[in-house]
Amino acid sequence: MSYVLRTLTKKQEVDSVIRDTIDKVLVLRFGRASDTVCLLLDDFLAKSVREVSKFASVKLVDIDSEDIQVYVKYFDITLIPSTIFFFNAHHMKMDSGTADHTKWVGAFQQKQDFIDVVEAVFRGAMKGKLIVNCPLPPERIPKYQLLYKDV
């Protein structure tokens, strides 16, 4: 359980957070507090939330909550932790060379990686782009398999 970051458990809370974060990147981490990778990611998030606070805000969403299942389906969350970026209630995609551009799956290797990613999202959003390129080299991006139709 991260004591620094707020964990949201209701859809209404998530909605209000998305709607109320204006002109800042909103980082929503979907995951579970007991999962090790989630904990690693949460640690990085907690440490860097202050540093990115001028252009981003970070919230954690607990996927075990009933309310949130709608979002789990809507955002197609199948692996945790999944991090989704919003800017002004618009979803920001990031092309990091993986199969899923809509979210960031997994943790980061360094705190600075997270900050770089958020910065890239912010810069792209301020320019009007809905999809940005990932600034990290491929070796630092967590790899995963997305299965489609049981393939």
Partner 1 sequence: METGKSRSVTNPNRKINATKQSNGSELKKRKRSQFEFCEVCKLNHDQGQRHKYFPSHTKSLSTFLSRFQNKLSDIRFFLTNPSLLRPEHASLNRFWCVFCERDIDELGSSFACTNTINHLASIDHLKNLKYFLWKYGGGMNSVHNFTISEQDISKWQKKCKSLKSEAVSSTTASRGPLVGPSNDIHNELNYGNVNSFANNNIDYVNLRNSNGVMPLQYHTNEYQVSHSELSEVANVGLFPEDVSSSLPIETNYGTNSKNLNSFIAKRNCQHSQRLADGYLNNYGISQVYQNERMVKGESSSQGSQSLTPIFPMVPDGAGGNVHSGAPPPWFEAIDDSQQDVQLKPVLGSLVSSSIKQGKSKKLNPKRVGAAWAEKRKMEMEMEKRGELVKTGVNANWLPNFGRVWQSGSRKDSRKEFELENQKVSKVENQPVDAVPLKIQPYISKRMQRDASG
Interatomic CA distance for residues 18 and 12, integer angstroms? 10
Least separation, in Å, of the C-beta of 116 and partner 1? 17
In the complex with partner 1, the residue whose CB is nearer, 44 or 86, is 86
Least separation, in Å, of the C-beta of 91 and partner 1? 4
Q: Would you give the DSSP letter of residue 96?
A: -
User: Which residues are at the interface with partner 1 (CB under 8 A)?
Assistant: 6, 11-13, 15-24, 32, 35, 37, 54, 57, 59, 63-64, 69-70, 72-80, 86-93, 100-102, 124-130, 144-150
Tokens of 38: 């989630």
Interatomic CA distance for residues 116 and 131, integer angstroms? 15
In the complex with partner 1, the residue whose CB is nearer, 37 or 115, is 37
Torsion (CA) 14, 17, 19, 21 in degrees, nearest 10: -150
In the complex with partner 1, the residue whose CB is nearer, 87 or 114, is 87
Least separation, in Å, of the C-beta of 78 and partner 1? 5
How would you classify the pairing of strands 90-95 and 56-62?
unpaired
In the complex with partner 1, the residue whose CB is nearer, 92 or 136, is 92
Least separation, in Å, of the C-beta of 132 and partner 1? 10
Among 16, 27, 15, 19, residue whose Cα is nearest residue 88:
19
